[in-house]
Chain A
Amino acid sequence: SQTIHQWPATLVQPVGSPLSLECTVEGTSNPNLYWYRQAAGRGLQLLFYSVGIGQISSEVPQNLSASRPQDRQFILSSKKLLLSDSGFYLCAWADWDRGHLEAFFGQGTRLTVV
């Protein structure tokens, strides 16, 4: 069966520090991968999605970047965090071509920038 791991669960970082959030998926290959941010009262904002290794689509211009160095690994990064980067970050995967016609979510990372 497929599983998704996202860590850390919570993170407190100072303004100007770097960020690296990691997400890995097990039990499938070449999934679509997604990073979302959830800020209070603003729903789920799609940040990046990837349909394959090295293929990243950015949805919102911002202080963040994403990379997919391996098939089932998706990393969200920042060189210098801003206060506005605080929020709940969710990773998800889907496999539209193989009948997994829904997105499966990790448990999320609560990021507080201080």
Chain B
Amino acid sequence: AQSVTQLDSQVPVFEEAPVELRCNYSSSVSVYLFWYVQYPNQGLQLLLKYLSGSTLVKGINGFEAEFNKSQTSFHLRKPSVHISDTAEYFCAVSRFQGGKLIFGQGTELSVKP
């Protein structure tokens, strides 16, 4: 079975600073990996996904993530954050070719001026 651990429940950061949100997963089979963003009282929006190929994945809003198979990690990064990036971020995993989609506990990113 798959599982996901987001290592930080809250990440405060100042505007224009870099940020990294950490995600580790566990699976005995090949997986797909995802990062989603959720703004207050809304559904989830996909930021980026890793399916195969290049381990560095670029997404929307200037975010990127790197798949590290040996460390079973998929950390999300942005070199310079904006106030508008304040939201909750979720890492998710599904087995290769889909099926059950498991989410982490979420990381609340708070960008301060």
Contacts and interface: CB of A to CB of B under 8 A. Distances in A.
Interface stretch (B67-75, B78-86, B95-103): B95-103
B105 to A, nearest CB: 4
Given A96-B97, A101-B51, A90 B102 contact: no
Contacts of A46: 100-103
A15 to B, nearest CB: 24
Contacts of B25: none
B98 A34 contact: no
Interface residues of B, number: 26
A49 B101 contact: yes
Interface in A30-61: 32, 34, 36, 41-46, 49, 51, 57, 59
B46 interface: yes
Contacts of B104: 43
B2 to A, nearest CB: 11
Contact of B99 (A32, A41, A102): A32
Nearest to A46: B102
Interface stretch (A66-74, A78-86, A103-111): A103-111
